[in-house]
Amino acid sequence: MFIIQNYSTAVIFCFITMLCWGSWANTQKLAASTWRFELFYWDYVWGILLMALLFAFTLGSVGAAGRSFWPDMAQASAASMGSAVLGGIIFNAANILLGAAIAIAGMSVAFPVGIGIALVWGVLVNYIDNPVGDSWRLFAGVALVGLAILLNAFAYRRTAAHTQSVSSKGLILSIVAGVAMGFFYKYVAASMFPDFSQPMAGKLSPYTAVVFFALGILGSNLLFNTLLMKQPFVGNPVSYADYFKGNFRSHLTGILGGAIWCVGMSCSIIASGKAGPAISYGLGQGATVVAAIWGIFIWHEFKNAPKGTGLVLNSMLVCYLIGLGLIIAAR
């Protein structure tokens, strides 16, 4: 299987993760005018699974290093498979809440708040499990990200108070999603052998771990998204019959969104071998900056904000960028 050999390459993969995780929600925005989020999300999940399998049968099955996908599947222990699946279940619960928050409050709010909280909490959780990197730089970077979260929440509240048209429900959903999102990565990391070049009995390669993670998302979606369809956060209930009424473009947009996210997840997991789970996860969650830029400059989600909000948002982005720089410098 393909293995990253040095930290510099790992950082490049983390930046790919950042771009993918910060951009997939554009597909949801594109589909939102004609396609409900609950229906979009089914295709999104299929996109994650298809891309996970593509990685497993390509990069996960070539070369002499590590252990190829099929042999790895054959020897995997129930505990390792279960850990990766559990990571998928936790992620799916958090991501559904995040998607609902995007539909209500927009990308430039849901991502900085939800994913920002996930970054702070997730780095802490993953560092405790696997303390790789300089703790002072790492947590100084996380502190700046935390400040950026507060600045973004402040800008959102100012805008909501000014326009009288934005519900605080989006902010609350973002916070809950962020807390839950901080947990999923540690379970996927725990399912893998720590040195990707030296396979361990029962443990999974990064490619196999992502496949079981995707299966956890798909399985849990039968429960989570079915409940959401019956009791949506916004709008009237939808049915499975509505899903099959969607056109090819609507379904393809959702699959593309899931595939983009899974490219980011796969790159992050592959990079964690050299960067460590805390740094790899933390850098990937710099997706917040990417999503905020999309939301602010492309989708114009703060176009009706009161005077001075632009300064707050720019300060938020500066704090994020400096914080990410410190996270990179932690190793």
Which tokens belong to 15?
A: 């930046």
Residue 105 lies in a domain: yes
Residue 324: predicted pLDDT: 83
Rounded Cα distance, 90 and 216, in Å: 9
As a whole number, the mean pLDDT across the chain is 89
Rounded Cα distance, 70 and 209, in Å: 12
Domain ranges, residue 58 = 7-329
| Distance between first and last Cα of the chain | 25
Number of structural domains (the chain) is 1
DSSP secondary structure, 37-104, as one string: HHHHHHHHHHHHHHHHHHHHHTGGGSSSSS--HHHHHHH--HHHHHHHHHHHHHHHHHHHHHHHHHHH
Residue 161: predicted pLDDT: 65
Residue 108: predicted pLDDT: 64
Residue 236 lies in a domain: yes
Residue 1 lies in a domain: no
Residue 204: predicted pLDDT: 97
Maximum Cα–Cα distance across the chain: 60
Contact 152, 111 (CB under 8 A): no
Average pLDDT over residues 66-70: 94
pTM of the model: 0.87
Residue 2 lies in a domain: no
Is it the case that residue 163 has pLDDT exceeding 70? no
Residue 167: predicted pLDDT: 58
Contact 87, 272 (CB under 8 A): no
Least confident of 126-130, 139-143, 214-218, 292-296: 292-296
Residue 260 lies in a domain: yes
Residue 58 lies in a domain: yes
